[in-house]
Chains A and B, each alone.
Chain A
Amino acid sequence: MQINGLFVMGLTLLITGIVALLLYKSRWGLQVRAVVSNRTMSGAVGIDTRRIDMLTFGLGCGIAGVAGSAFTMIGSTGPTAGQLYIVDTFLVVVFGGAQSLLGTVASAFTISQSQSTLEFFLTGSMAKVLTLLMVIGLLMLRPQGLFVLKVRR
């Protein structure tokens, strides 16, 4: 169990590193960031925005596949396995600020840590409820997330 957990942790670090490298060091990443900040203008300077959309969507879904394969090592696999985690996933992404990779990492760490800490004091379900409610409350106060890039609308 410990080895599985450590392996998944290592895999997570690796994937995060690769995504960060792709986003901030490669030509494709530069184009993605250009399209995010101003789609019309990026199209005008010759970036094929639809191709970037396709590649980004494909990469995102591919990472979800890697996550699923890693998940089978620590949880049971079934047709509803994804549904349990999709709410957490959305909250992590929105809480960290949807455009920020660093924010996602930080918010994933915060949410999971606060949940396991609360589980120590309360029952598992109440810990989960409290964590989700806190995140919802914080999102209402700060709907743009923790880390925000300056984006030209």
Chain B
Amino acid sequence: MPATRIDSRMLELIGFALVAALILLVLPLMLDIFRLNLVGKYLTYAFVAVGLVLCWGHTGILSLGQGVFFGLGGYCMAAFLKLEASSVANTKIQSTPGIPDFMDWNQITELPFFWIPFKSLPFTLLAVIVVPSIAAFILGAAMFKRRVGGVYFAIITQALAAVLTILIVGRQGYTGGINGITDLRTLLGLGHPYRRRKIHPLLRLLLPAAGHHVPRALRGREQARPHPGGDAR
């Protein structure tokens, strides 16, 4: 039935166009900065939700540690923004100027080696994608090779999230601890979203990801995916 297929494709496109117009035009024009930032925050959560839909809904892998990857990307970006905010001029009241304030509070006197590459924006943008991917690859390789699936996968990912939280809180000199990395100011001299109106929800356009039909094809054919997620029982 080619006619109906074209129709549904058209409807999908019109739907995306409407959502894009709403996010890129209507919301920035109508909302104040505070609310616009809130919308931006919700849209980032929507990214996580899309990831979960892909993992759980389409392939049946329930990851309770999705926040780990959200956080890894977040910490990479925050490291760059924090280093930009901690210029020598901005931090001259510290005992060691030029390092993030929480490091100074924890008696650290030089930038740790794993913070140094985050002075470069290209590296940071690459790391935002590569670091969570590598972490997920190691985790996935270790688990799926051994056919760890279903509830065990869920609990292990949940435990890993707990491990990372404890680690970050425990090593506050390197990570900012329970407060996190705060007081970010500018991105390459541009206003931080909290100060000036920026259309960062632009990223939302990338969302209708290509290739989400492959895992969907896997669903329903239980033999095609013997390991992860819900059993065929």
Contacts and interface: CB of A to CB of B under 8 A. Distances in A.
Interface of A: 87, 90-91, 94, 123-126, 128-129, 132-133, 135-136, 139-141, 143, 153
Contacts of B163: 129, 132-133, 136
Nearest to B151: A94
Interface of B is mostly: helix
A91 B169 CA distance: 21
Given A143-B146, A153-B233, A136 B159 contact: yes
- The list of the 4 closest CB pairs from A to B, nearest first, reads A125-B170, A87-B162, A143-B152, A90-B155
A126 B142 CA distance: 23
Contacts of B169: 125
A132 B157 CA distance: 11
Nearest to A95: B155
Nearest to A153: B233
Interface string B122-157: 000000000000000000001100111001100110
A128 B142 contact: no
Chain B CB count within 10 A is highest, among A133, A139, A153, for A139
A133 B59 CA distance: 26
Interface of B: 142-143, 146-148, 151-152, 155-156, 158-163, 166-167, 169-171, 233
A129 B146 contact: no
Nearest to A132: B163
Contact of B170 (A123, A135, A139, A140): A123
Contacts of B166: 125, 128-129, 132
B142 A132 contact: no
Given A87-B161, A90-B155, 11 more contacts: A90-B158, A124-B170, A125-B167, A125-B171, A129-B166, A135-B159, A136-B159, A140-B143, A140-B146, A140-B156, A143-B146
B125 to A, nearest CB: 29
A126 B170 contact: yes
A90 B162 CA distance: 12
A153 B166 CA distance: 38
Nearest to A125: B170
A114 to B, nearest CB: 15
Contacts of A140: 142-143, 146, 148, 156
A136 B158 contact: no
A153 B232 CA distance: 12
